[in-house]
Amino acid sequence: MDPKLERKETSENAGLWLVLTCALLAASSAAGFAADAEAQKLTIHLGDYRFHPDAVEVIAGRPVELTLVNDDKITPHNFTLKDQSAGMDLSENISAGKSATLRFTPQTPGSYVFYCNKKLPFMKSHRERGMEGKLTVVRPAS
């Protein structure tokens, strides 16, 4: 085989691989942007033994990006939502003055209670002091 011809085939193959790799990267980036665009973005503030808002609604089967903001200057809080039948097992500690983001995709329509599970010894828990809310998961529109 002619060495010039061999180098040309190798060069053409490398060019083809480069084009295919770029196309795959572009497609995967576009898919990532589409998934982000579809995310249901919510923010819940935590503080003073409450959630604000204390009731939120999302669509089943769509990703949720939930930002939790602790407005208290001293008191740490927690966001807990545990419902095994719905496949939701969420728990996130949020230090005073900090925020955190949870990402999840609810699958089962229904109403689910979320709460703060923090408790100091010999005191009522944050939940017993009223720190709970409701996540309602609805079916997608037909």
Whole-model pTM: value is: 0.73
pLDDT for the residue 85: 82
Domain spanning 40-138 has what CATH number? 2.60.40.420
Q: Which residue has the tokens 């329509």?
A: 109
Q: Copy the structure tokens of residue 5.
A: 């011809």
pLDDT for the residue 34: 43
pLDDT band of residue 87 (cuts 50, 70, 90) is: confident
pLDDT for the residue 8: 52
> Rounded mean pLDDT of the chain?
83
pLDDT at 133 over 80: yes
Tens digit of each residue's pLDDT (9 = 90 or more) over 30-56: 444 344 448 999 999 999 999 999 999
Q: Among the residues of the chain, which ranges form H helices?
A: 3-38
The structural domains of the chain, with segments of one domain joined by +, span: 1-38, 40-138
CA–CA distances in Å: residue 51 to residues 46, 78, 114, 115, 119: 5, 10, 9, 8, 16
